[in-house]
Amino acid sequence: MVIKDGWKGRYYEDFEIGDVYQHPLGRTITETDNVWFTNLTMNTNQMHFNKHYAEASPFGRYLVNSGLTVAMVLGLTVGDLSRNAMANLSWDEIRLTNPVFVGDTLYAESLVIDKRESASRPYVGIVGVKSRGLNQEGKVVVTWKRSFMVYKKDAPQDKGLFPVADKAIDEE
Residue 30 lies in a domain: yes
How many structural domains comprise the chain?
A: 1
| Residue 135 in domain | yes
Query: Quick check: is 76 in a domain?
Result: yes
Q: Is residue 157 part of a domain?
A: no
Residue 93 resides in a domain: yes
Q: What is the CATH number of the domain that holds 58?
A: 3.10.129.10
Q: Running along the chain, 172 residues long, what does each successive block of 10 average in pLDDT?
A: 80 97 96 93 92 95 95 97 96 97 97 96 97 98 98 90 84 76
Residue 81, domain extent: 12-152
**Does residue 86 fall inside a structural domain?**
yes
pTM to 2 decimal places: 0.90
Q: Is residue 85 part of a domain?
A: yes
In tens, the pLDDT along 1-42 reads 677 777 789 999 999 999 999 999 999 999 999 999 999 999
Cα–Cα dist 32/38, whole Å: 10
Q: What beta strand segments (E) does the chain contain?
A: 20-22, 27-28, 85-95, 105-117, 124-134, 140-151
